[in-house]
Amino acid sequence: MSLEQSITQHDMKKTTYGRLRPFLGPVSLLAIIAIFGSLYPDTFLSPTNLVTNILESVAFVGIVAAAQTVVMVVGDFDLAVGGLAAFATSTTAGMLTTASLDGTPHTPGAVLPAVLIGLAVGLVGGALSGFLVSYVGVLAFIATLGMAGVFSSLAYYASDGKPVYGLVERNFVDIARGTSLGLSNKIWIMLIFAAIIWFILDQTPLGRRMYAVGGNPEAARYSGINTKLIRMIAFTICGVGAALGGLLGSASTATANVTATQPFMLNSIAAVFIGMAMFRNGKPNLPGTILGVITLRTLENGLNFTSINDFLQSAITGAVVVIAVIPSALSRIRQSR
C-alpha cells in the first residue's frame, strides 16, 4: 500500500460517502455486468465479448485516458488529444501505406522509425500545447481547443481527407493484433503504459509535484517547485499518450482514419472524472481512470445488446457520467461551507 493510499483511507473515514467511495466504482461495474449478464447470459457474458469486445477495445481510449489523467492532475484539461492522435497516426500511416494518396503504389517504409516519428509528433504537439498553457498563459481550455482544430486539420491535410488503407506491414498490425503470453498485445500495451503513468504519478517526485501543482499552484511555487515546467511536462506526456492510443487504433484496423480518434477527448475526460469520483478524495488518479474507462465501455457494450435505439445509447452513457460525479460534487459543496 502506497503512502498516498494510506493517507486517503484515513481521510475517507470522515463521512459515509467517504467510507463507501472506494467501493462505488467496482460495485457499479459489477452491477452493470450483473444486469446485462442476467439479461443476455449467453452473449454478453461470453468470454469473447468480455475479453475481445470490452477489454481489447478499451485499450485505445484507456491509453489516452491514462495520459489525460496526468494533465488533469496538474489541474488542466487537454482537449486536443483526439486531434493530436489523428495527426500522429496519419503521419505514420503516410510512411507505411502500400497505396499513395493518388492511388499509385507506394513502398512502405520501415515500421520502427515510422512509429517513433508518430510518437514524436505526439511529444512535440503535446509540448506545444503545454508551452502555450504554461509559459504563454493561455487558458488550457482555449489553447487545447485551438490546438485540437490545428491538429485535426493537419491530419486531414496529410491524408487528403480520406482514410488511409493498406497498412498491411506485418510488424505494424501485429503491434495490435498479435498476442503475448495468451493476452492481446493491445491489452499489454495499455497495461504497460498505465503502469508507467501510475509509477510516475505515485512513485516519483515528479508525480508528487504534479499533484502539488494541481492542489495549490501558488503554494507549490512557494515550495520551490518549477510549476511552469511541471505543467508543460504533463501536457507533453499527454501528447505522447494520445499518439500511442491513435497508433494502436490504426494498427488494429490497418487503417488510419481521422474520425476514429474523435471520441478520445470526451471519453478520456469522462473516464478521469469517474475515477476522481471513486478514489483518492476526488483527485485524478490512475487506477480510477482505468476502472472508469472499463466501466464506460462495459456500459456501451451492454447497451448494444438491448433494443434501445443506438442514438439514445449515448444519452444513457452521458447521463451515467454526470450521475457518477454528483456525489463527489455534493460532498465538495458541503465541505466548502
Partner 1 sequence: MSNLLEITGLTKSFGGTVVLNNVDLSVGAGEVRALLGENGAGKSTLIKILAGIHHEESGTFAIDGVKQTFRNPHDSALAGVATVHQELMISPGLSVAENVLLGTKMPTRLGKIAWGELNRTAEKWFAELGQKIDVSRPVDELSAVQMTMTAIARALCLDAKILILDEPTAALTDSEVHLLFATVKRLRERGMGIIYVSHRLEEVFMIADTYTVLRNGSKVSEGKVVDTSIPEIINSMAGREVSSIFPDRSIPGSNEILSVRDLSAKKIRGVNFTVKAGETLGIGGLAGSGRSEILRVLAGAQRRASGTIELHGNVYLPKSVGGAQTDRVVLVPQERRRDGLIPGSILSNIVITTLSKLTNFGFFSSTRMERKMGQAAWEKFDIRGKSLAQEIFTLSGGNQQKVVLAKFLALSPSLLLIDEPTKGVDVTTRSEIYRLLAELAAEGMSIIVVSSELTELLAISHRVLVMHEGRQVSILESSTTTEAEALLACYGRTA
Binding interface with partner 1 (CB under 8 A): 2-4, 6-7, 9-11, 199, 203-205, 208-209, 211-212, 215-216, 218-226
**Cβ 4 to partner 1 shortest distance, Å:** 8
Q: At what angle do helices 264-278 and 57-73 cross, to 10 degrees?
A: 70
Nearer CB in complex with partner 1: 179/216: 216
**Cβ 328 to partner 1 shortest distance, Å:** 14
Quote the cell numbers at residue 140.
488550457
The string over 76-86, giving b where at least 16 C-beta atoms fall within 10 Å of a residue's C-beta and e elsewhere, is bbbbbbbbbbb
- Cα separations in angstroms, 89 against 111, 112, 150: 13, 14, 15
Nearer CB in complex with partner 1: 105/205: 205
d(CA 264, CA 253): 16
Nearer CB in complex with partner 1: 178/202: 202
**Cβ 229 to partner 1 shortest distance, Å:** 10
Which residues does 262 contact at the CB level (< 8 Å), separation at least 6?
82, 86
φ, ψ dihedrals at 154, nearest 5°: -65, -35
Nearer CB in complex with partner 1: 50/206: 206
**Cβ 203 to partner 1 shortest distance, Å:** 5
Nearer CB in complex with partner 1: 281/301: 281
| Coil vs helix vs strand at 80 | coil
Nearer CB in complex with partner 1: 4/300: 4
Select from 325, 236, 319 the least CA-distant residue to 284.
325
d(CA 327, CA 136): 36
